[in-house]
Homo-oligomer: A and B are copies of this chain.
């Protein structure tokens, strides 16, 4: 007996044991692949791409790019642009997809040396740290994906509210935050400070591309240098620092304290310091799992101490700030501290 049709496939609704984890997993792998192939920037800036043109742009065989676009379309990462023969463009929610992928990318890709070698780290962390290094580009990419929806919105809202005439960003990376502020406030000036040469070079290029190079200074220096020479902080109305101070704990905590005091001294009466940081073991249901991972990764593998909300408050007060507000972020375990004179 042959059934026609034989395929007793059931309805569109997902089965009871369906898990959204499968979607997250697929996005993580697909977007990492797209990032490494150099394909993602074209989609992120909203281009309509064809396999032929994109293959030429990223130096890959046309067939390979066509297959990838087919897979991306099946995965609802791109969709047909019917105005262009063979054209595809990102789905409107691509930034949201990258945001979701950022979490798995940080946990399992940027931190891969820890996930793969936990025994070595738990037996002798200093020795393991000398051998197993994270790929800092992967750290930056996953942080940017997470940050797009999780770190930046509350920080930008705080800065835009204040309309600062001068902003200094510590650990500025490619200068993205400063550039965004300078574009919004045509009279403002800014400083992007980072110790990484490649990041600073990229920041210079990005400032030119954005047309703000006359108002933006890129300083290639470690943040630690501000403990003894705080001249780049002078005149700032907003000083920002995202996930940089915990990197000095515990060994360089005294240096961090001096930088905070120097920041307080440099800021005018209406200025503020905005510090984005991770607090340890946040206990709210929606953030507890990822917070636990962030905490554990820092403590066990990176050898970094995270401070609690109260410890941060005490630290800002000890540096001379008297008005400190803590704002929870959509980023699990993330807090934005805004400290004013």
Contacts and interface: CB of A to CB of B under 8 A. Distances in A.
A300 to B, nearest CB: 6
Contact of A111 (B1, B29, B101, B123): B29
B26 A293 contact: yes
A56 interface: no
A28 B329 contact: no
Interface stretch (A7-15, A198-206, A257-265, A270-278): A7-15
Nearest to A150: B17
A30 B294 CA distance: 11
A65 B132 CA distance: 21
Given A295-B74, A326-B6, A118 B33 contact: yes
Contacts of A6: 313, 324-326
B64 A122 contact: yes
Given A61-B123, A153-B17, A289 B23 contact: yes
Interface stretch (A214-222, A226-234, A280-288): A280-288
Could you say which of A17, A283, A323 has the most chain B C-beta atoms within 10 Å of its C-beta? A17
Could you say which of A18, A76, A328 has the most chain B C-beta atoms within 10 Å of its C-beta? A18
A289 B27 contact: yes
A157 to B, nearest CB: 13
Given A14-B287, A150-B17, A103 B24 contact: yes
Nearest to A149: B17
A317 interface: yes
A328 B22 CA distance: 16
B289 A75 contact: yes
A93 to B, nearest CB: 12
A134 interface: no
Contact of A115 (B29, B111, B149): B29
A186 interface: no
A329 B123 CA distance: 42
A291 interface: yes
A160 to B, nearest CB: 18
A19 B100 contact: yes
A60 interface: yes
Contacts of A127: none
7 A-B pairs with the lowest CB-CB distances in the bound complex, closest first: A14-B286, A17-B330, A75-B292, A74-B292, A25-B103, A22-B290, A25-B107
Given A19-B149, A36-B115, 14 more contacts: A2-B323, A8-B325, A9-B328, A15-B328, A19-B103, A20-B24, A25-B104, A25-B293, A28-B107, A33-B114, A67-B300, A74-B292, A108-B108, A108-B109
Interface of A: 1-3, 6-10, 12-30, 32-33, 36-37, 60-61, 64, 67-68, 71-72, 74-76, 99-109, 111-112, 114-116, 118-119, 122-123, 149-150, 153, 281, 283-293, 295-297, 299-300, 309-310, 313, 317, 322-330, 332
24 contacts: A2-B323, A6-B313, A7-B325, A8-B327, A15-B330, A17-B150, A17-B153, A17-B330, A19-B103, A20-B20, A21-B100, A25-B103, A25-B107, A26-B103, A26-B289, A29-B297, A30-B289, A32-B108, A64-B122, A64-B123, A67-B299, A74-B281, A74-B295, A109-B115
